Chain A
């Protein structure tokens, strides 16, 4: 029983992190209809930026968290303005391919500049060590990451459902034509939303820096797991991304405990089951044939 609770805790804490990482992907798809392949690369850039800020300017974790997020927002805005924008009217496959090209460039640029070995990054002061609750044990930093992730997910959800901006963005997603007829400048929100999604990827990267190996390839396998998360949750569904994030975290934790090396495969088995039973994902809308 203790082991069961232990794995559940472990799974929930990884799950929170997955939810946050997939959130940006879901937001960008929901509003722009773009599957951002470079999400993993942007996550990697966030983590690398955190280590570089520490090395060059001596800025620690707490300074890097807002600063990198802001930088990645600017990066996302530039990416949308310069590249993604031109393909928005075409089949979404083109932007998928475009962002794949961007991924190749970003990963190899970082590889050339910083090499392939992992860059070290310390767990911020005050969050080291583990918390012991009776026979249960959880890394203090892991706990922080999951609580922080849940708070960010909640904040994004509130922003989208309870504020005027959120309402406009949701209306534009739901029915761009009618929103325009009601006097909403739909195009105005496209760039900031894309930047916001990329900023979330960067934020996840900074959070990952202390507990994952920071190198140019850190986003390569991660993006595929995130794709599995959003396919399970239903593409474009924010709630779906969050729920599926936790689900995948749990599957991974229990997989590591009981199926060892099969844990990575289990995620895709879960995805296959979801596609088989509910092709549109847990919270997705059925697409028109």
Chain B
């Protein structure tokens, strides 16, 4: 069943790996622009909101690693984001660790949690995978709710410190905190980029496109899927940890299935199978929700749900995918006109 999805992607997307390599200059330019935007963001956007965008961007990339590059839809990624949000908070509060250490600790917890979950979930593909991951996330939600002594139950885990080696500016000012925390997000994105552009990433794409053939070539498909699932959980964990430090609390909201749904929405909105899609989707959704919330509109789901319906019906390549397809076909037409070789 997942073959239908990927066949469609193959037909409609101009071969992904060919275009960027054909224009390395463009690629470096995009990267430079991206970095400038990341560094300039807290000047233009309220710094805590900018931090939210960055965290959600990495969260979406972690989902895309599964959805876009391996063909697996995880509908329970809130489990890893939320587990790390709580673990990071606990490490920061109980052990008084500086926040980068706490975030890494949270990511490790998320990865450990992903091993048994992944082991069970990869036994099924397609829609079954989505439902199994969703159910496990819900199970974790109930456990966190019950384990109130540690997680704070309904009240959440409050008073998470932003300890940063005694640098007071970072610990108290959200603007400086952004610059202290953004390297963690960028390292996460870099890891995702390394995974995608490695032999391991190539095998993942092969599994997405034709699992039977990948198996016939001698690759242990299930093992690869578990590995990418755990890696993805680690990235979601990094993002969730930064999020909880930035907010100073972790709540059950981080574990509930609507968060899993929201990150899939962000990923698909931005465009799956592209590392740029996640950040773009995150910027759109976080800024939109921030605007709607500050204007006092209390039906955010009506807007985001409608956008999602339109995207799924008409723009399945998402913002980035649609824009890229339009741009490349325009460039190609122009080059044919000017007589350049394709």
Which partner residue on chain B sits nearest A97 by CB separation? B312
* Chain B, interface residues (CB within 8 Å), range: 35 or more
Known contacts A112-B298, A261-B146; A279 and B309 CB within 8 A of each other:
no
Q: Is the CB of B146 within 8 A of A289?
A: no
Q: Is the CB of A96 within 8 A of B130?
A: yes
Q: Is the CB of A268 within 8 A of B301?
A: no
Q: Which residues of A contact B212 (CB under 8 A)?
A: 289
Per-residue 0/1 for A208-232: is the Cβ within 8 Å of any B Cβ (1 yes, 0 no)?
0000000000001100100110110
Q: Is the CB of B126 within 8 A of A279?
A: no
Q: Is the CB of A105 within 8 A of B138?
A: no
Segment 58-100 of B: residues with Cβ below 8 Å from A? 73, 75
Asked if A94 is at the interface of the complex by the 8 Å CB criterion, the answer is yes
Q: Is the CB of B130 within 8 A of A104?
A: no
Q: Is the CB of B131 within 8 A of A231?
A: yes
Choose one: B120, B134, B264, B300; the contact of A227 (CB below 8 Å): B134
Q: Is the CB of B123 within 8 A of A275?
A: yes
Asked if B259 is at the interface of the complex by the 8 Å CB criterion, the answer is no
Binding stretch for chain A, among B1-9, B16-24, B36-44: B1-9
Asked if B302 is at the interface of the complex by the 8 Å CB criterion, the answer is yes
Choose one: A91, A101, A264; the contact of B126 (CB below 8 Å): A91
Q: Which residues of B contact A109 (CB under 8 A)?
A: 299, 302
Binding stretch for chain B, among A1-9, A70-78, A82-90, A123-131: A82-90
Segment 302-317 of B: residues with Cβ below 8 Å from A? 302, 304-309, 312-313, 316
Q: How far is the CA of A90 from the CA of B313 in the complex (A)?
A: 11
Q: How far is the CA of A108 from the CA of B215 in the complex (A)?
A: 45
Q: How far is the CA of A68 from the CA of B5 in the complex (A)?
A: 36
Asked if A262 is at the interface of the complex by the 8 Å CB criterion, the answer is yes
Q: How far is the CA of A90 from the CA of B7 in the complex (A)?
A: 10
Segment 219-269 of A: residues with Cβ below 8 Å from B? 220-221, 224, 227-228, 230-231, 235, 261-262, 264-265, 268-269
Q: Is the CB of B305 within 8 A of A103?
A: yes
Q: Is the CB of B5 within 8 A of A287?
A: no
Q: Is the CB of B211 within 8 A of A289?
A: yes
Q: How far is the CA of A220 from the CA of B261 in the complex (A)?
A: 12
Q: Which residues of A contact B305 (CB under 8 A)?
A: 101-105, 108
Asked if B102 is at the interface of the complex by the 8 Å CB criterion, the answer is no
Known contacts A103-B305, A275-B120; A83 and B132 CB within 8 A of each other:
no
Asked if B179 is at the interface of the complex by the 8 Å CB criterion, the answer is no
A218 to chain B, nearest CB (A): 15
Q: Is the CB of B73 within 8 A of A93?
A: yes
Q: Is the CB of A287 within 8 A of B125?
A: yes
Choose one: A96, A101, A269; the contact of B309 (CB below 8 Å): A101
Q: Is the CB of B313 within 8 A of A98?
A: yes
Choose one: A92, A262, A289; the contact of B127 (CB below 8 Å): A92
Q: How far is the CA of A221 from the CA of B268 in the complex (A)?
A: 24
Choose one: A92, A108, A227, A269; the contact of B299 (CB below 8 Å): A108
Provide the main secondary structure of the chain B interface: helix
Q: How far is the CA of A87 from the CA of B310 in the complex (A)?
A: 12
B135 to chain A, nearest CB (A): 5
Q: Which residues of B contact A91 (CB under 8 A)?
A: 1-2, 4-5, 8, 126
Q: Which residues of A contact B123 (CB under 8 A)?
A: 275-276, 279
Instruction: Please count the residue pairs between chain A and chain B whose beta carbons lie under 8 angstroms apart in the complex.
Output: 132
Which partner residue on chain A sits nearest B121 by CB separation? A275
Q: How far is the CA of A103 from the CA of B143 in the complex (A)?
A: 25
Q: Is the CB of A97 within 8 A of B308?
A: yes
Which partner residue on chain A sits nearest B120 by CB separation? A275
Q: How far is the CA of A104 from the CA of B211 in the complex (A)?
A: 33
Q: Is the CB of B302 within 8 A of A86?
A: no
A173 to chain B, nearest CB (A): 15
Q: Is the CB of A105 within 8 A of B309?
A: yes
Per-residue 0/1 for B166-203: is the Cβ within 8 Å of any A Cβ (1 yes, 0 no)?
00000000000000000000000000000000000000
Q: How far is the CA of A97 from the CA of B307 in the complex (A)?
A: 12
Q: How far is the CA of A90 from the CA of B316 in the complex (A)?
A: 11
Q: Which residues of B contact A224 (CB under 8 A)?
A: 134-135, 138, 257
Which partner residue on chain A sits nearest B8 by CB separation? A90
Q: Is the CB of B128 within 8 A of A231?
A: yes
Q: How far is the CA of A112 from the CA of B2 in the complex (A)?
A: 37
Q: Is the CB of B131 within 8 A of A92?
A: no
Choose one: B131, B136, B138, B313; the contact of A35 (CB below 8 Å): B131
Asked if B142 is at the interface of the complex by the 8 Å CB criterion, the answer is yes
Q: Is the CB of B312 within 8 A of A268?
A: no
Segment 107-149 of A: residues with Cβ below 8 Å from B? 107-109, 111-112
A4 to chain B, nearest CB (A): 25
Q: How far is the CA of A105 from the CA of B306 in the complex (A)?
A: 7
Q: Which residues of A contact B8 (CB under 8 A)?
A: 90-91
Asked if A157 is at the interface of the complex by the 8 Å CB criterion, the answer is no
Which partner residue on chain A sits nearest B316 by CB separation? A94
A30 to chain B, nearest CB (A): 13
Which partner residue on chain B sits nearest A227 by CB separation? B131
Q: How far is the CA of A98 from the CA of B264 in the complex (A)?
A: 12
Asked if A59 is at the interface of the complex by the 8 Å CB criterion, the answer is no
Which partner residue on chain B sits nearest A275 by CB separation? B120
Known contacts A87-B312, A98-B312, A108-B299; A235 and B135 CB within 8 A of each other:
no
- Closest 5 CB pairs between A and B? A104-B305, A108-B301, A91-B5, A101-B308, A105-B305
Q: In the complex, given contacts A93-B5, A105-B302, A108-B301, what are 17 additional A-B residue pairs having Cβ atoms less than 8 angstroms apart?
A: A35-B131, A87-B313, A89-B4, A93-B127, A96-B130, A102-B309, A104-B301, A104-B304, A105-B301, A105-B305, A108-B305, A111-B299, A112-B299, A227-B134, A235-B127, A268-B135, A287-B128
Can you list 19 A-B pairs with a CB-CB distance of less than 8 A? A86-B313, A91-B2, A92-B1, A93-B5, A97-B268, A100-B264, A101-B265, A101-B305, A101-B308, A105-B309, A109-B299, A109-B302, A220-B257, A224-B135, A227-B134, A231-B135, A268-B139, A279-B123, A287-B128
